[in-house]
């Protein structure tokens, strides 16, 4: 397999690069200023944010498995992909187009790279925001060779023109080019090599129906269990040269939010902590001390998460409280709360969205060491 970063300025075939040499464009994430008063959270600095932080891409590449059989977790997905890959190889044909969706950091890019490895083909990696002009995506399509994989991250952000170019390319392996303007315009069809498009998104509901129905395989990636995260961390520790014991791995796993990217980031911090403290092995006590220093609690909540829950509980008696009111109370914008903080809090059962606003659950009260009121407002009307 060769991983080829897409060059949107030239349709020519690029020189293959090794996986370790590929550096994805850093993602700028506005983590906002939410956090408790004693520990403000600077944008992009949250240790538990699931998105890629600047400078992390090359480190992630080194931690990725090299074969699908080495990939830990997502067992049902791996079985389905294994069958699809083997069937395509026996036919000598390209795979059907695939769509992977789920929260960030769960392995959508990694699995796509492993599929290319199993198929013995090149994978060209790009993202929807980079495909602004028709020639950007047209140049990519004509450069693909038989069986190649085109991976488009954040595919829900494709503009309408790019989508319409993809329709005949995905369905008929044809590229429709408009020649001329106005009444003299005509469409010329160019044949394309049979390729596989893999789209990745965190917002499957934002993908248009015509595009979504053209994917032969649609798979949702789920959060990882603590046991799966423990195994992933033990595997990553070998690559990082860290002496990590099973108990230490579990202490980190419980705080990893079921997300390998977060787990590996926590592991690197704990490794650094152990080195500075001259500790040869990472056990549960040392891992806990390292993460306590960063104020990440046993459930994986950081100061920003806790401030949201504390604000709802202390200032609004547990809720319900409207999102605009909550945002003003913690000096954060509503989009950041909805996209960055709430998904994890809801997934872990600390927060509920109702028609009347946000409500802190009894589990949230207990986690913060508070007693929920006996007559708390119902979560659902």
The whole-model pTM stands at: 0.78
Strands 351-354 and 357-360: antiparallel
H or E element that contains 100? strand 98-101
Identify the CATH number of the domain defined by range 226-293: 1.10.8.60
Domain 303-367 CATH (choose: 1.10.10.10, 3.40.47.10, 3.90.1150.10, 3.40.228.10): 1.10.10.10
Contact between 225 and 233 (Cβ < 8 Å): no
Identify the CATH number of the domain defined by range 3-220: 3.40.50.300
b/e 299-316 (16+ beta carbons within 10 angstroms → b): bbbbbbbbbbbbbbbeeb
pLDDT (tens digit, 0 to 9) for every residue of the chain, 381 residues total? 555 556 555 444 343 333 333 333 333 223 333 333 333 333 346 777 666 655 555 555 667 788 888 899 999 999 999 999 999 999 999 999 999 999 888 999 999 999 999 999 999 999 999 998 888 999 999 999 999 999 999 999 999 999 999 999 999 999 987 776 766 667 788 999 999 999 999 999 999 999 999 999 999 999 999 999 999 999 999 999 899 999 999 999 999 999 999 999 999 999 999 999 999 999 999 999 999 999 999 999 999 999 999 999 999 989 899 999 999 999 988 888 888 888 889 988 999 999 899 999 999 999 999 988 875 555 555
Give the CA-trace dihedral at 136, 142, 145, 149, to 10 degrees: 40
Contact between 72 and 376 (Cβ < 8 Å): no
Residues of the chain with CATH 3.40.50.300: 3-220
Q: From CA 235, how far away is CA 255, in angstroms rounded?
A: 17
Residues of the chain with CATH 1.10.8.60: 226-293
What's the pLDDT tens digit per position in 46-74?
777 666 655 555 555 667 788 888 899 99
- DSSP-derived letter for residue 57 is H
| Tokens 């950007």 sit on residue | 136
What's the pLDDT tens digit per position in 213-253?
999 999 999 999 999 999 999 999 999 989 999 999 999 99
Looking at residue 10, its pLDDT comes to 45
Q: Which residues are part of the catalytic machinery?
A: 108-109, 153, 202, 261
Structure tokens at 72: 């830990």
């Amino acid at each position: 397999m060769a991983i080829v970063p897409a060059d949107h300025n030239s349709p020519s075939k690029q020189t293959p690069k090794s996986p370790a040499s590929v550096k994805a464009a850093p993602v700028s994430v506005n983590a906002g200023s939410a956090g408790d008063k004693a520990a403000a959270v600077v944008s992009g600095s949250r240790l538990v944010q699931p998105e890629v932080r600047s400078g992390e891409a090359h480190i992630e590449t080194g931690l990725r498995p090299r074969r699908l059989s080495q990939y830990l977790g997502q067992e049902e997905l791996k079985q389905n992909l294994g069958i699809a890959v083997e069937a395509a190889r026996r036919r000598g044909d390209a795979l059907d187009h695939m769509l992977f969706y789920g929260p960030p950091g769960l392995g959508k890019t990694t699995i796509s790279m492993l599929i290319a490895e199993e198929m013995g083909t090149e994978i060209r990696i790009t993202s929807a925001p980079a495909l602004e002009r028709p020639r950007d995506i047209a140049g990519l399509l004509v450069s693909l060779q038989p069986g190649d994989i085109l991976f488009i991250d954040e595919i829900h952000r494709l503009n309408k023109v790019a989508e319409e170019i993809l329709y005949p390319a995905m369905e008929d392996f044809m590229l429709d080019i408009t020649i001329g303007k106005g009444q003299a315009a005509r469409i010329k069809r160019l044949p394309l090599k049979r390729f596989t498009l893999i789209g990745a998104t965190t917002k499957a509901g934002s993908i248009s129906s015509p595009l979504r129905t053209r994917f032969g395989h649609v798979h949702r990636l789920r959060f990882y269990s603590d046991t799966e995260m423990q195994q992933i961390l033990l595997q990553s520790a070998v690559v990082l040269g860290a002496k990590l014991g099973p108990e230490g791995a579990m202490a980190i796993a419980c705080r990893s939010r079921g997300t390998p990217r977060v787990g590996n980031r926590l592991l690197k911090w704990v490794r650094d902590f152990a080195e500075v403290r001259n500790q040869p092995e990472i056990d549960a006590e040392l891992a806990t001390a390292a993460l306590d220093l960063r104020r990440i609690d046993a459930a994986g909540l950081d100061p920003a998460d806790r401030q949201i829950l504390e604000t709802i509980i202390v200032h609004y008696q547990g809720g319900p409280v409207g999102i605009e009111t909550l945002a003003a109370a913690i000096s954060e914008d509503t989009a950041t709360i909805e996209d960055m903080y709430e998904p994890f809090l809801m997934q872990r059962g600390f927060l509920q969205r109702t028609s009347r606003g946000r409500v802190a659950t009894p589990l949230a009260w207990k986690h913060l060491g508070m007693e929920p009121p006996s007559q708390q407002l119902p979560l659902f009307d």
